[in-house]
């Protein structure tokens, strides 16, 4: 065998070995169960998108291996002919003699177009270039198969973990919208894993991230839940104060003649009507239950600011409207204390004390003129300091501990009769220019009700 024939034979063996190695690798790939599933028509989504180009490259590999096999077989057959031109055959083995990607109707028998030209239907490559191209073409298929294998292998344990976490959070945070969405997505994952394992792996990663974020925000959600509960308690307190202010307003106008310093009750619509505090709080509670931490936190802060302001006004209104009635009760208490003191001094039947006591009793009848009542009670207490009258007949008190019927037309302390229902008409003294004659509450300004006239009666009862 001459050197040219020897070189040709060695070159044929090298190319054949490389071609067989690729054939073996392709055969092993195609025998893989995962690869067989990839070539079926059940896969969808991300997996189908990733597998499609990889499978196309394997098909091109098969075409290239077939063309290379044809070339090597033809040259091997020509090698044994008499008067073989080894140099010409070697040129085919080392030159661009294979056309890859030929369309139907284009010759793909291994005969390349003239050297240096490009086929209009494919690429003219040398056998070495074909082998290198085909070897690279197998890599995407191997990668897709490995990724799908890993997805199927890891997805079930990951799915078990994420399912457990989702149901745990759902029990902790009922009504939390992201958790509910995660639970629904998890329930649909088993079929998704079969049809699109790579897409399911991405979805599980997203669910893991979502649930981790929710778990991390549990402390803040718990704080917001407690804040919403505190807001509900504030709302209940506010409702009570508003009712107290309205009741005190009505009762004071019944009991006190021309009361000073009354404040218009805060309207209930600030609580109940849109956009009142109650419907606003209901929306915030829904945001907390659905896990909207940022929006719920900001909303609750604004709600609390307005509620505290409204609470301060409601307390001021309730206090101002109850003050006249409370002072009447205080004066009644001073009168009772004066009775005890008169008895202790032995002056229960003193004419002066009796006259002053009767005047004080009448001044406290409904409707009560507080200024006159203050004066009458002060005069009674002052009368107890005067020398005892020699006239001991009559008496409004009787002896200490003795219940005495009051004179006709005199109402006992604290009692009510038809006069309780009498309400003075006309403008209330000391009122603003409002037609009702009452101070209107303003959530943005501090109420400044008139102070009751200072009295020394409180100090004198114990002297």
C-alpha distances (whole Å) from 19 to each of 5, 24, 72, 108 are 21, 9, 10, 17
154 in Cβ contact with 165 (< 8 Å): no
User: What are the average pLDDT values for consecutive 10-residue runs of the chain, which has 463 residues?
Assistant: 81 91 88 84 85 85 87 87 83 87 45 44 82 86 89 88 89 81 87 85 90 83 90 94 95 94 91 88 90 90 95 95 95 93 88 91 94 94 78 41 37 35 34 36 40 44 43
Grouping H, G, I as helix, E, B as strand and the rest as coil, residue 106 is coil
| Torsion sign (Cα): 327, 330, 334, 336 | positive
Find out whether the peptide bond into 367 is cis, omega within 30 degrees of 0: yes
pLDDT at 1: 57
pLDDT at 151: 87
pLDDT at 380: 92
Nearest to 335 by CA among 311, 312, 365: 365
Write the DSSP string, 207-233.
HHHHHHHHHHTHHHHHHHHHHHHHHHH
pLDDT at 416: 34
Q: How far apart are CA 410 and CA 425, in angstroms?
A: 24
Q: How far apart are CA 400 and CA 341, in angstroms?
A: 9
pLDDT at 116: 42
Q: How far apart are CA 15 and CA 67, in angstroms?
A: 13
pLDDT at 462: 43
């Amino acid at each position: 065998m001459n050197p040219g024939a020897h070189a040709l034979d060695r070159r044929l063996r090298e190319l054949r070995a490389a071609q067989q190695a690729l054939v073996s690798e392709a055969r092993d790939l195609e025998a893989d169960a995962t690869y067989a599933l990839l070539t079926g028509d059940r896969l969808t989504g991300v997996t189908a998108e990733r597998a499609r180009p990889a499978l196309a490259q394997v098909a091109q590999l098969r075409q290239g291996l077939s063309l290379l096999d044809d070339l090597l077989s033809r040259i091997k057959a020509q090698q044994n002919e008499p008067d073989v031109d080894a140099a010409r055959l070697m040129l085919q083995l080392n030159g661009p003699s294979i056309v890859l990607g030929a369309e139907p109707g284009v010759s793909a028998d291994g005969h390349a177009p003239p050297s240096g030209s490009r086929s209009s239907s494919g690429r003219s490559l040398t056998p070495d270039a074909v082998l290198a191209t085909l070897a690279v073409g197998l890599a995407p298929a191997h990668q897709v198969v490995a990724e799908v294998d890993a997805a199927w292998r890891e997805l079930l344990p990951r799915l078990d973990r994420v399912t457990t976490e989702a149901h745990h959070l759902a029990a902790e945070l009922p009504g939390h919208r992201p958790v509910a969405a995660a639970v629904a997505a998890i329930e649909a994952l088993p079929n998704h894993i079969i049809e699109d394992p790579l897409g399911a792996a991405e979805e599980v990663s997203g669910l893991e991230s979502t649930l981790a974020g929710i778990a991390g925000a549990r402390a803040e959600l718990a704080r917001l839940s407690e804040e919403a509960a505190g807001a509900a308690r504030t709302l209940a307190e506010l409702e009570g104060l508003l009712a107290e202010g309205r009741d005190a307003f009505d009762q004071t106008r019944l009991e006190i003649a021309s009361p000073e310093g009354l404040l218009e009750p805060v309207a209930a619509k600030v609580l109940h009507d849109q956009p009142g505090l109650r419907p606003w709080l209901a929306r915030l509670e829904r945001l907390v239950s659905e896990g909207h931490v940022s929006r719920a936190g900001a909303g609750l802060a604004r709600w609390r600011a307005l509620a505290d302001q409204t609470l301060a006004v409601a307390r001021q209104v309730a206090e101002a409207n109850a003050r006249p009635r409370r002072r009447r009760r205080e004066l009644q208490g001073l009168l009772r204390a004066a009775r005890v003191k008169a008895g202790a001094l032995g002056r229960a039947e003193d004419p002066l004390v009796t006259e002053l006591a009767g005047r004080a009793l009448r001044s406290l009848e409904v409707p009560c003129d507080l200024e006159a009542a203050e004066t009458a009670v002060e005069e009674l207490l002052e009368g107890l300091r005067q020398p005892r009258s020699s006239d001991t007949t009559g008496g409004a008190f009787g002896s200490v501990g003795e219940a005495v019927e009051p004179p006709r037309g005199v109402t006992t302390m604290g009692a009510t009769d038809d006069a309780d229902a009498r309400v003075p008409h006309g403008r209330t003294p000391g009122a603003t220019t409002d037609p009702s004659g009452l101070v209107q509450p303003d959530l943005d300004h501090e109420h400044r009700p008139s102070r009751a006239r200072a009295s020394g009666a409180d100090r004198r009862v114990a002297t």
